């Protein structure tokens, strides 16, 4: 059975996605943005009060990397919090009245399934590579942002294989097509990873500072991580990806930013390495609660500074 304080497999998440969207039809619309390589439907939820006029939107995805299980848990938590606090929490009510969240709860479904059945530490997609017996591409090296120039490998056996071409992975293409088609309303792109407790922003594929680096970007980030820390004292670091974590090309955050989505952030959730990808289930609730604070902070900032 589905449980927000446990890790749920894809079948459980998928049933839950269908039931929570049906049970909250006034706030959630569900669509499929395409299928994965192995044919699983990529469900995207649009969460927000339905209005006649167009609203600004935030796009958020979880589960790019298969083994980063706390991220899948966070997207489920976010959706639960949104529908269960709408109408009672003034902040969430205001956000959902005035904007929409597009939430993709599991981006790399095939990889996630593989971490449950075969290899808990799997990272990449599960696509075949011609001329190699190695499987999969790193989806966060597969986007059109300095593709495969740095911090990525052209070897299909590498954990950071950039793929045979830009958007070679159907999952990347499905996501990129959706964001391209809706870029006039998408003001912010949040992509949730783990671990290392960081809030990263462009660029990672080059050392250039983003055009909006100074106040808009840095300021938002400083307050977002302060909001996060206020609950349990969890410390995050922040900055441009290239200097804060490592240079690496082909990430969805840099791609979205260069497309024109100004507020483009990568979260690296708990922890700092003690458990790493194997974060105990006892940390799901505190991690999700604190992360909610910074996502809500960013959402307010986006709403007030379009």
Active-site positions? 268
Residue ranges in 220-279 that form contacts with ligand 0X9 under rule CB under 6 A = 241, 245, 248, 251, 253-254, 266, 268
Residue ranges in 136-175 that form contacts with ligand 0X9 under rule CB under 6 A = 140
241 binds, among Zn ion, ligand 0X9, none (CB under 5 to 8 A by kind): ligand 0X9
Burial class (CB in 10 A: 0-12, 13-18, 19+), 224: buried
The H or E element spanning position 32 is strand 28-35
The nearest distance, CB 193 to ligand 0X9, in angstroms, is: 3
266 binds, among ligand 0X9, Zn ion, none (CB under 5 to 8 A by kind): ligand 0X9
The nearest distance, CB 78 to ligand 0X9, in angstroms, is: 18
253 binds, among ligand 0X9, Zn ion, none (CB under 5 to 8 A by kind): ligand 0X9
Mark residues 175-204: x for contact with ligand 0X9 by CB under 6 A, - for none. ------------------x------x---x
Query: CA dihedral in degrees (97, 100, 105, 106; nearest 10)?
Result: 180
- When the beta carbons of 68 and 113 are compared against ligand 0X9, the nearer one is 68
Closest CA to 306 of 260, 265, 267: 260
Q: Cα–Cα–Cα angle for 215, 260, 178, nearest 5°?
A: 135
Q: Which of 40, 43, 65, 270 binds ligand 0X9 (CB under 6 A)?
A: 65
- The dihedral sign for the CA sequence 76, 80, 86, 92: negative
The nearest distance, CB 245 to Zn ion, in angstroms, is: 10
Give the three-class secondary structure for 132.
coil
262 binds Zn ion (CB under 5 A): no
Residue ranges in 12-51 that form contacts with ligand 0X9 under rule CB under 6 A = none
Q: Which of 193, 262, 296, 301 binds Zn ion (CB under 5 A)?
A: 193
| Residue nearest ligand 0X9 by beta-carbon distance | 251
- When the beta carbons of 100 and 254 are compared against ligand 0X9, the nearer one is 254
CA distance 56 to 261: 12
290 binds, among ligand 0X9, Zn ion, none (CB under 5 to 8 A by kind): none
CA distance 113 to 129: 19
State both tokens at 123.
Answer: 């990272």
Instruction: Return the DSSP state at 197.
Output: -
**How many CB atoms lie under 10 A from the CB of residue 168?**
17
The distance in angstroms from the start CA to the end CA of the chain is 40
Query: What is each CA distance from 107 to 11, 12, 65, 75, in whole angstroms?
Result: 14, 15, 8, 11
Q: Which residues does 133 contact at the CB level (< 8 Å), separation at least 6?
A: none
Mark residues 62-91: x for contact with Zn ion by CB under 5 A, - for none. ---x--------------------------
Residue ranges binding Zn ion (CB under 5 A): 65, 193
Residue ranges binding ligand 0X9 (CB under 6 A): 65, 68, 140, 193, 200, 204, 241, 245, 248, 251, 253-254, 266, 268
């Amino acid at each position: 059975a589905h449980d927000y304080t446990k890790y749920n497999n894809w079948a459980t998440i998928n049933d839950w996605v269908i039931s929570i969207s049906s049970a909250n039809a006034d706030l959630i619309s569900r669509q499929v943005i395409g299928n994965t390589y192995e044919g699983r439907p990529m469900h995207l939820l649009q969460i927000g009060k339905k209005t006649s006029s167009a609203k600004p939107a935030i796009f958020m995805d979880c589960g790019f990397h298969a083994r980063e299980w706390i991220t899948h848990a966070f997207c489920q938590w976010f959706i639960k919090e949104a529908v269960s606090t709408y109408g009672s929490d003034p902040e969430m009510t205001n956000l959902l009245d005035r904007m929409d969240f597009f939430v993709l709860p599991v981006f790399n479904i095939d990889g996630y399934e593989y971490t449950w059945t075969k290899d808990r530490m799997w990272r990449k997609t599960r696509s075949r590579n011609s001329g190699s017996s190695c499987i999969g591409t790193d989806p966060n090296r597969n986007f059109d942002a300095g593709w495969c120039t740095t911090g990525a490998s052209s070897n299909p056996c590498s954990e950071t294989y950039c793929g045979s071409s830009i958007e070679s992975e159907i999952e990347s293409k499905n996501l990129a097509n959706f964001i391209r088609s809706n870029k006039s309303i998408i003001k912010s792109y949040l992509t949730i990873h783990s671990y290392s407790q960081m809030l990263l922003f462009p660029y990672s594929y080059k050392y250039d500072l983003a055009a909006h680096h100074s106040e808009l970007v840095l300021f938002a980030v400083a307050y977002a991580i302060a909001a996060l820390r206020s609950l349990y004292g969890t410390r995050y670091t922040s900055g441009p990806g290239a200097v804060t974590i490592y240079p690496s090309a082909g990430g969805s955050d840099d791609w979205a930013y260069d497309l024109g989505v100004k507020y483009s952030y990568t979260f690296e959730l708990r922890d700092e390495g003690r458990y790493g990808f194997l974060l105990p289930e006892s940390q799901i609730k505190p991690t999700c609660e604190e992360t909610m604070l910074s996502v809500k902070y960013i959402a307010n900032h986006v709403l007030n500074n379009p």
